[in-house]
């Protein structure tokens, strides 16, 4: 179209309208054609869904990233911490601590080292490192350390006050989860479960591992309250959400065993001991096999002892904490002098360095087996002065015919849905 033709078109409304309609039709056709090509391309080459996040995929991701780095690099130390937190193996935690120690002036890595120490029940190291970080009072991670230290030392009122202040300021899902844990231990399991559910609602769709962890906690509440079928439902959902994690599978195996389903419990425990160095799981599997496969059971019991010694050489307090519960039950069933001596030593050590309610309970049970009822009763009185109200606390109070002091209901200081004070 030459300039004159164009001018004539512009001057003629009918011609101009026809031209505009033709142009719109052409554009619309091109859009539809492109859309059609895109659909055909999608059908011929379908988009791959994002790979499912599992325990194994996370472990591979971390190990691949570490392979690209030198062990002397700060990020390598950071990834080693991630691997330790994922596997739960004491050698991984020990290696992480060694790597982090090489960066005493790196604030981020000092924080991680403190966190590793506290997760391994080394309160002394955790507190020393916390003191280095306390110059940053507005860092919520430093507050996390302070709360953890207080809980491990049995200082429940300060811990609750610090956590309350956090909730009043900004109720994050992790703070709600910690508050829920305390609610359960303080005797309000129903409120604890509701709070875990609210914490789950705070998560994004990508936080699937955190969702599974919260679901695991809800199952633990039911398990500790003897609601095995309800616990199983939570553990199965957690396992579907984040498949392959040894901690979820271990709880599934334990629940199947309690439900008298050894055919399901045994293969799960066999999977777990391939991933974890925790002697508890070797012992649990041995218990399930000791009637039908006594030789294999004895081998598992021996391995459990070896694993305990390995872990004890790295982190004595963390190694002895859970195993003492098993040994206390074994000592009631078949007393031995060696186990008796070990329980006396370890329960005293734990109470000295980590004087929280769990350590007090274990020490009381050991003293009862020893026949030292006077000291056991005195410690029970100290236990009842704490807000801990688990089944063990009630059982010990009844044994010594002591009144269980009533506690004021522990309520959330804020409406977690609005962050407004109640």
Specify whether 235 is located in the same domain as 305: no
Tokens of 139: 């860092």
Specify whether 64 is located in the same domain as 153: yes
Element (H, E) at 210: helix 208-224
Q: Return the pLDDT at 12.
A: 43
Mean pLDDT comparison of 19-23, 41-45, 299-303, highest-scoring range: 299-303
Q: Return the pLDDT at 393.
A: 97
Structural domain includes residue 263: yes
Specify whether 206 is located in the same domain as 250: yes
Specify whether 160 is located in the same domain as 198: no
Band (pLDDT 50/70/90 cuts) for residue 171 is confident
Segments forming the whole domain that contains residue 205? 186-271
**Average pLDDT, integer, range 134-138:** 75
**Average pLDDT, integer, range 194-204:** 95
Considering the entire predicted model, what is its pTM?
0.85
Chain segment 79-133, per-residue pLDDT in tens: 999 999 999 999 999 999 999 999 999 999 999 999 999 999 999 999 999 999 9
Q: Which residue has the higher pLDDT, 372 or 2?
A: 372
Band (pLDDT 50/70/90 cuts) for residue 413 is low
Specify whether 309 is located in the same domain as 330: no
Specify whether 362 is located in the same domain as 291: no
Band (pLDDT 50/70/90 cuts) for residue 134 is confident
**Average pLDDT, integer, range 49-75:** 92
Specify whether 399 is located in the same domain as 345: yes
Specify whether 256 is located in the same domain as 332: no
Mean of the per-residue pLDDT values of the chain: 88
Structural domain includes residue 208: yes
Domain termination residue (choose one: 289, 314, 339):
314
**Average pLDDT, integer, range 222-238:** 98
Number of independent structural domains in the chain:
4
256 half-sphere exposure, CB direction, 13 A CA radius: 20
Band (pLDDT 50/70/90 cuts) for residue 168 is confident
Specify whether 265 is located in the same domain as 309: no
Number of helices and strands in the chain (H, E): 22, 2
Is the Cα dihedral 363, 365, 371, 377 positive or negative?
Answer: positive
**Which of 20, 55, 30, 42 is CA-nearest to residue 272?**
55
Q: Return the pLDDT at 49.
A: 54
The domain that holds 158 is classified in CATH as 1.25.40.10
Structural domain includes residue 412: no
Terminal alpha carbon distance of the chain:
76
What are the residues whose beta carbons fall under 8 Å from the beta carbon of 181, sequence distance 6 or more?
Answer: 192, 217
Structural domain includes residue 35: no
Specify whether 305 is located in the same domain as 343: no
Structural domain includes residue 122: yes
Structural domain includes residue 19: no
Structural domain includes residue 4: no
Domain termination residue (choose one: 170, 194, 214):
170
**Average pLDDT, integer, range 56-73:** 97
Ramachandran quadrant class, 88 (left: phi over 0; alpha: psi -120 to 50; beta: rest):
left
Specify whether 357 is located in the same domain as 385: yes
Structural domain includes residue 297: yes
User: Rounded distance, CA 355 to CA 189, Å?
Assistant: 24
Q: Return the pLDDT at 382.
A: 96
Q: Which residue has the higher pLDDT, 422 or 343?
A: 343
User: Rounded distance, CA 255 to CA 387, Å?
Assistant: 28
Q: DSSP assignment, residue 53?
A: P
User: Rounded distance, CA 267 to CA 51, Å?
Assistant: 26
Residue 27 has pLDDT above 90, yes or no: no
């Amino acid at each position: 179209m030459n300039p004159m033709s164009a001018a004539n078109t512009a001057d003629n409304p009918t011609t101009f309208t026809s031209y505009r309609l033709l142009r719109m039709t052409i554009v619309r056709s091109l859009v539809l054609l492109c859309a059609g090509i895109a659909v055909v391309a999608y059908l011929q080459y379908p988009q791959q869904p994002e790979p499912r996040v599992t325990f194994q995929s996370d472990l591979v991701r971390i190990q691949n990233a570490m392979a690209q780095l030198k062990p002397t690099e700060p990020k390598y130390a950071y990834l080693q911490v991630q691997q330790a937190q994922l596997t739960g193996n004491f050698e991984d935690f020990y290696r992480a601590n060694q790597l982090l120690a090489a960066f005493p002036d790196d604030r981020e890595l000092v924080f991680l080292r403190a966190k590793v120490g506290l997760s391994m029940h080394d309160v002394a190291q955790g507190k020393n490192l916390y003191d280095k970080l306390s110059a940053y009072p507005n860092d919520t991670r430093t507050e996390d350390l302070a709360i953890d230290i207080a809980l491990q030392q049995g200082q429940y009122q300060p811990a609750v006050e610090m956590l309350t202040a956090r909730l009043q300021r900004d109720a994050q899902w992790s703070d709600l989860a910690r508050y829920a844990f305390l609610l359960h231990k303080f005797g309000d399991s129903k409120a604890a479960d509701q709070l875990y559910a609210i914490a789950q609602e705070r998560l994004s769709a990508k936080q699937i591992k955190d969702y599974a962890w919260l679901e695991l906690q809800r199952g633990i509440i039911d398990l500790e309250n003897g609601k095995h079928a309800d616990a199983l439902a939570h553990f199965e959902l957690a396992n579907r959400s984040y498949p392959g994690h040894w901690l979820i599978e271990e709880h599934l195996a334990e629940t199947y065993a309690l439900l008298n389903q050894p055919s399901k419990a045994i293969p799960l425990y066999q999977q777990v001991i391939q991933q974890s160095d925790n002697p508890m799981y070797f012992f649990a599997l041995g218990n399930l096999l000791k009637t039908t496969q006594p030789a294999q059971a004895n081998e598992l019991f021996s391995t459990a002892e070896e694993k305990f010694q390995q872990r004890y050489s790295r982190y004595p307090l963390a190694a002895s904490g859970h195993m003492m519960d098993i040994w206390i039950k074994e000592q009631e069933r078949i007393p031995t002098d060696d186990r008796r001596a070990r329980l006396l030593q370890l329960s005293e050590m734990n109470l000295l360095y980590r004087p929280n309610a769990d350590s007090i309970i274990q020490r009381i049970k050991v003293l009862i087996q020893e026949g030292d009822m006077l000291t056991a009763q005195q410690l029970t009185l100290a236990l009842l002065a704490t807000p801990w109200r688990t089944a063990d606390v009630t059982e010990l109070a009844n044994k010594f015919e002591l009144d269980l002091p009533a506690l004021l209901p522990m309520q959330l200081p804020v409406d977690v849905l609005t962050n407004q004070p109640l």
